[in-house]
Amino acid sequence: MTDTHVREASTAAAPEPGAPRGRALARAALLLLRGRTLVVLVILILFFGAVSSEYLTQSNLILMTKHVAINAILAIGVTFVILTGGIDLSVGSIAGLASMVAGGLLFKGLGVPGGTVFFSAAVVIVIGIAVGALVGAVNGIVITRFKVAPFIATLGMLYVARGLAQLHSNGGTYPDLAGTPARGNTGFHFIGVDSVLGIPVAVWIMILVAIAAIVVTTRTPFGRRIFAVGGNERAAILAGIRVNRIKIAVYVISGACAALAGLLLTSELGAAYPDTATTYELNAIAAAVLGGTALSGGRGTIIGTVMGAFVIGFLSDGLVLVGVSTFWQSVVKGAVIVFAVITEQAQQRLQSGLARRTA
């Protein structure tokens, strides 16, 4: 075991043209590393399935997928940003702000001269997502027009959006979002509580968002430009890509996804409070990184991010299910994320080693 390991490492370090066995091993290792998120997920499922008989029941799998949906939607949005070489730290706060805006509209309506207007639940959802997109646009404009580093701009927005969420209700909670038939604003619970064909609506929404994101990133000119901007921004500019437009667009997408996630969470809870989704941006970024998205930009996939979200969600729910304490839950989650990045680095080294040899 140790022997092959050493040999494999040495062949990778000093490429020899005539070492077919070492190369085959390296290829196999690379395949394993590329699919590592899936491997980890399978290991998790097998492990928790063995420890708890409840883990693999249909209802628990559906429930865990529902928990995953919120983080996956956040993470898909963040992936767009990371692919361009940026970062969005404000998604948790945007989710909170969208939640409060929607909660306020449902609970107390919109004060206009001469009375209060109530919107239907569907309109409230659209408004909530629009608020997220708008905040994302502000992020994008600050980053492109004022040349603020994405980390700083979105860190600022993390505080601004959270503060606005708190200001919206003066820190309070909107306790009841059921709406009344007289106001015509019932039905907000549909997206977070109800199921269609036995699958929660939130999961359907995640599937739709994921499919749309996969199509956009892999099948459209816009998607190719996102990778071009993240891969080499100067080259992208020279190739005539309007880089600033692409960048603003990805922050708008990220903001809209964040708002959607916030609305799903709020709908499920039936209440909106300003601390909704605090620190969720870290879970979202973790999911993207776990899924193989490079923080330097230009490399990553939506499906990888979704898998990353599944790993994080299935892991934390599994730990709760078997009754592990909250403290250990944090430790394990952190360790898995760091481990993921280490394997990512290993994959890069192996890949470039193989590429050199075939060249």
Partner 1 sequence: MLRRTLIAVGAASVLALSACGGSSDKSDSGSTPAASKLIVIITPSPDNVFFKAEQEAADAQAKKLGYETLVLSHDDDPTKQSQEIDTAISRKAAAIILDNAGADASVAAIQRAKDAKIPTFLIDREINKTGVAVAQIVSNNAQGAGLGGTEFAKLMGNKGEYAELTGKATDTNAGVRSQGYHGVLDQYPDLKMVAQQSANWDQAEALQKTQTILQAHPNIKGIIAGNDTMALGAFAAVQAAKKNIVVVGFDGSPDVVSSILKDGIKATVLQPASKIAEMAVDQADAYVKNGKADQPEKQSIDCVLVNPDNAKSVTNFAVAGS
Rounded to whole angstroms, the Cα distance separating 293 from 128 reads: 28
- Contact between 281 and partner 1 per CB under 8 A: no
Window contacting partner 1 (CB under 8 A); options: 28-36, 49-57, 106-114, 151-159: 49-57
Rounded to whole angstroms, the Cα distance separating 134 from 75 reads: 18
* Site track for partner 1 across 63-102, x = CB under 8 A: xx--x-----------------------------------
Conformational region of residue 115, where left means phi above 0, alpha means psi within -120 to 50, and beta covers everything else:
left
CA dihedral 319, 320, 323, 328 (to 10 degrees): 50
Instruction: Report CA torsion sign: 103, 105, 106, 111.
Output: positive
Cβ 60 to partner 1 shortest distance, Å:
4
* Site track for partner 1 across 120-149, x = CB under 8 A: ---------------------x---x----
Q: Give, as ranges, the residues between 205 and 234 that touch partner 1 (CB under 8 A).
A: none
Cβ 5 to partner 1 shortest distance, Å:
38
- Contact between 264 and partner 1 per CB under 8 A: no
For 57, phi then psi, to 5°, come to -70, 155
- Contact between 274 and partner 1 per CB under 8 A: yes
234, two tokens: 């100067």
Residue closer to partner 1 (CB basis): 16 or 54: 54
Contacts of 116 (CB under 8 A, 6+ apart): 108, 109, 110
Contacts of 330 (CB under 8 A, 6+ apart): none
Residue closer to partner 1 (CB basis): 87 or 284: 284
Which of 78, 273, 304, 309 is close enough to bind partner 1 by CB under 8 A?
273
The 3-state DSSP class for residue 272 equals strand
The CA-CA-CA angle for residues 293, 296, 299, to 5°, reads 40
Cβ 140 to partner 1 shortest distance, Å:
13
Cβ 96 to partner 1 shortest distance, Å:
10
Residue closer to partner 1 (CB basis): 144 or 293: 144
- Contact between 57 and partner 1 per CB under 8 A: yes
* Site track for partner 1 across 169-208, x = CB under 8 A: -xxxx-xx----------------x---------------
- Contact between 242 and partner 1 per CB under 8 A: no
Contacts of 250 (CB under 8 A, 6+ apart): 80, 81, 83, 84, 86, 140, 226
37, two tokens: 């998120």
- Contact between 22 and partner 1 per CB under 8 A: no
- Contact between 332 and partner 1 per CB under 8 A: no
Which of 8, 268, 281, 344 is close enough to bind partner 1 by CB under 8 A?
268
- How many binding residues for partner 1 (CB under 8 A)? 36
- Contact between 279 and partner 1 per CB under 8 A: no
The 8-class DSSP code of residue 195 comes to: E
Rounded to whole angstroms, the Cα distance separating 81 from 229 reads: 11
Rounded to whole angstroms, the Cα distance separating 50 from 56 reads: 9
Distances from the Cα of 138 to the Cα of 99, 148, 254, angstroms: 18, 12, 12
* Site track for partner 1 across 301-330, x = CB under 8 A: ----------------x--xxxx-xxx---
Question: Where along the sequence are the contacts to partner 1 (CB under 8 A)?
Answer: 52, 54, 57, 59-60, 63-64, 67, 141, 145, 166, 170-173, 175-176, 193, 265, 268-271, 273-277, 317, 320-323, 325-327
